[in-house]
Structure formats: structure tokens, C-alpha cells
Amino acid sequence: MSDKKHKSIISPLKAARGMGADKSGFHHWWMQRVTAIALIPLTIWFMFCAVGAIANASYDRALEWLSSPLHAVLMILYVIATLYHAALGLKVVIEDYVHKESLKIASIFFVNFACFAGAVASIYAVLLVSLKG
Amino acid sequence: MAEFKLPKNSVVQKGKIFKADADAKNVKSFKIYRWSPDDDENPRMDEFEVNLDDCGPMVLDALIHIKSKIDPTVTFRRSCREGICGSCAMNIDGTNTLACTKSIDDVKTECVNVNPLPHRPVVKDLIPDLNEMYAQYASIEPWLKADTPLPERERLQSPEDSDLLNGKNGHGPSACILCFCCSTACPSYWWNGDKYLGPAVLMQADRFISDTRDEATGERLDQLDDKFKLYRCHTIMNCTSTCPKGLNPAASIANIKRKLAERNA
């Protein structure tokens, strides 16, 4: 029925069962932990190696550093793990607190898009620097 | 959005004060949440001064004293008065617990605040509406499922198997009395209780998943592999810290997540 005032009487059991399990729970939970564990060494590398190498370096020196295949690959992995982890985590926060279905779907879409676009842009930048060098 | 303010008709007002007799020496006051569906009034906190010399040691004794001697309209559930039925679960002194096993002496504040279990619709006074939670309990199908025909005698378990249910110290998932102190203490359940099953029900799901006689483990795990039903648990641990029976619902939830990881990873 399209009538907005449509009210239905359903049993508490029907409400509790809902539409059944979405089978996405484990995958989300697991990927959040996998990315978290991957981020431990990657963040240590980023803090000490990347920041240390780039912070006080000249522009040319920084470009040279990022052109090294090892550092370029680690930087791409770091960007993917960070933004994937962020997208998974923000989705949970939105689901916890935003209960208006349309706003919830829009917010999750926005977060996913922003993280995905951020990852693509970052990877493109790293490749640009790395392959040119 | 999650609501951070009470609706207007739920804002708690100041209530009446019932003074103890002038000759009472050992007086403790109890502030009790009062709301009736029969009038249009807002909820209020009535204050009852109880002569502890004329009353048993537990908070439930005080409630019964108030109901029999001061105001017979004070409404609450109670049955066994020994912590095994779960009827008198309520929020006492800011913590969900059983009125019958909570000693008045353990409440150090001047006044004992007594409220219904949090974040539930109130039926009357200290009685919360738990229908939704009983339905969630039914939804996990809390009975033994086995296709192996009944043996001539009972289905056997090793002592180690039964430890999985009863716990080595008797504090396993079988010891849960379904008072729902844990679920109603859980912020995740407050915000998403319509979809998240909550610690009490998940602990019972674990009770059957961990039962070596139950043959529907896969089906049970399938039913729980959901972003809300199980994974809305964010390991806040209020469940375990509030359980009046000293059980560990958080460990049960962790066990279900472990089983799913074992199967799916």
C-alpha cells in the first residue's frame, strides 16, 4: 500500500525475525579486524619511515623517495587499508545512530563514495609520482 | 536519529513524600518511579521513608513493605524472592539488578533510587514491557534440535561437554534466568533494540550453539550472521558488569563470533 498512514498489526515474533539474517555481519566484522591488524605495521612504517623521509626533505628528494617501488607499494597498501577501515567503521557509527532509513542509506553511500574516491585519487597520485620517476 | 531527550510526556516530575512515623529511628528513604497508564500525568518520583527496623534486609523487602503498609498502588513484579525467577529486575541505585538479591545496606547513597529497567516502554510503575524481548528469545528457537532419533535413554554428554553450558563454576549460559538486566543495560540495545538481539538472547543462542547434543549449529549461526542481530555488539561489556547472577554474556557473544570466524574465515 502506498498510503503513508498505513498501519499494520504484526506479532512481536514477526518483528523479531524481521527479514532474516543479511549474511553480511561476519564479513564486515572480519574485514574491519583484518584492516586493523594490517594497519599496525603500515602505520608504524608511515609514522617513522614516510613522515621521517618526507617531512624535512626537499620536493625533489620526496619525489625520489616515493618513486622507490617498495615505498610506492607500501604507500598504496597504507591508503587502501586506512580508507577501507574508515569506511567500515563509519558505516557502523551511522547504523548505530541514524535511524531514518533514507538518511542512513544516503550517509553510508556518501561515506563509501568519499573513501573510494579518496583511495583512487591517492593511488593515482602515488603511481603518477612513482612511474614518472 | 537516536533520541537524547525524553519526550514531553515522559519527563519525570517531583512526586509525593511519605514520611516515616516520628518514633522510627532507623529510616532510609526510597525514591520510586511512578507512572500509570490510567491517567494523563507525567511520571514522577515518589519518596517513601521506610523504617528499616520494621522491614527485611533487601530492596524487595522494602518495596513489599511500602506496598503493604504505605501505598498499595505501588506496582512491581516479584515472585521467588531468591534470585532465581528474574521477575524483580529493575534499576536500583543506577544499576540494573534484582531487587530481591540487592541488599539495602549496599546502597551507600542517602536515598535508594528505584526505576524500571531502562529504555523499555513502561506498563506501570516499575514494570517494563518485555514482550519484544521474549519474541526475540523465541526467534532464536531456544530448544534442542536433533535429527538423530531419540536413544533409548537420554542423549549423552561428557562432563566437559556440559561444562560448556553450565560453566565450570556454574556460571555458564545455562544459569541465565532471563531477567534482561543485561540487555536493558546495553547502549547498542538501547539504540537498536528492534534489530539487535541483545546480550540475554545471544547468551541463550550460545547455549544451544555450544550444546554438543544440538545438531542445528550451522542453521543457528546462519540466523545470527547479520549486521544487527549479532554484530551490533560493540563489546561495551555493560552486560557482564551488571549481571546480577555474575554471568558473562559478553563471553557468550564472543564465542558466537569465534564460531562464525571458524566457519567463514
pLDDT single digits (tens) B114-173: 999 999 999 999 999 999 999 999 999 999 999 999 999 999 999 999 999 999 999 999
Residue A20 belongs to a domain: no
Q: Mean pLDDT for chain B?
A: 96
Return the CATH number of the domain spanning residue range B9-128: 3.10.20.30
Residue A37 belongs to a domain: yes
Residues of chain A found within 8 Å of residue B193, distances taken between Cβ atoms: none
Secondary structure (DSSP) of B189-249:
HHHHTTTS-HHHHHHHHHHHHS-TT---HHHHHHHH-STTTTTT-----HHHHH-TT---H
Look at residue A82 in the predicted model and tell me its pLDDT. 98
Residue A17 belongs to a domain: no
Interchain CB contact of B264 with A (< 8 Å): yes
ipTM for the predicted complex comes to 0.89
Look at residue A3 in the predicted model and tell me its pLDDT. 58
Of chain B residues 190-249, which have a CB less than 8 A from chain A?
191-192, 194-195, 197, 222-232, 234
Residues of chain A found within 8 Å of residue B4, distances taken between Cβ atoms: none
Which residue of chain A is at minimal alpha-carbon distance from B230?
A: A25
B135 with A22: Cβ contact below 8 A: no
A22 with B227: Cβ contact below 8 A: yes
Look at residue B137 in the predicted model and tell me its pLDDT. 98
Look at residue A133 in the predicted model and tell me its pLDDT. 57
- Average pLDDT of span B92-110: 96
Residue A117 belongs to a domain: yes
Residue A39 belongs to a domain: yes
CATH of the domain at A81: 1.20.1300.10
B162's CB contacts (< 8 A; 6+ apart) are none
Q: What percent of chain A has pLDDT over 70?
A: 96
Residue A19 belongs to a domain: no
Interchain CB contact of A61 with B (< 8 Å): no
- Give the structural domain span for A97: 25-132
B231 with A96: Cβ contact below 8 A: no
Give me the number of domains chain A comprises: 1
**A107 to chain B, minimum CA–CA distance in Å?**
12
- Confidence class for position A2, pLDDT limits 50, 70, 90: low
- pLDDT of A1 strictly over 80: no
A16 with B223: Cβ contact below 8 A: no
Phi, psi of A5 (to 5 degrees): -85, 5
Interchain CB contact of B262 with A (< 8 Å): no
Residue A51 belongs to a domain: yes
> Please, which contacts does B28-31 make with residues 24 or more away whose CB atoms are closer than 8 Å?
B28/B52, B28/B62, B28/B104, B28/B111, B28/B112, B29/B110, B29/B111, B29/B112, B30/B59, B30/B62, B30/B63, B30/B66, B30/B111, B30/B112, B30/B114, B31/B111, B31/B112, B31/B113, B31/B114
The model's pLDDT over B190-212, given as tens digits with 9 standing for 90+, comes to 999 999 999 999 999 999 999 99
Residues of chain B found within 8 Å of residue A95, distances taken between Cβ atoms: 192, 227-228, 232
Angle at A105 between CA A34 and CA B200, to 5 degrees: 65
Domain-by-domain residue ranges, chain B?
Answer: 9-128, 131-264
Return the CATH number of the domain spanning residue range B131-264: 1.10.1060.10
The model's pLDDT over A45-69, given as tens digits with 9 standing for 90+, comes to 999 888 888 888 898 988 899 999 9
- pLDDT of B1 strictly over 70: no
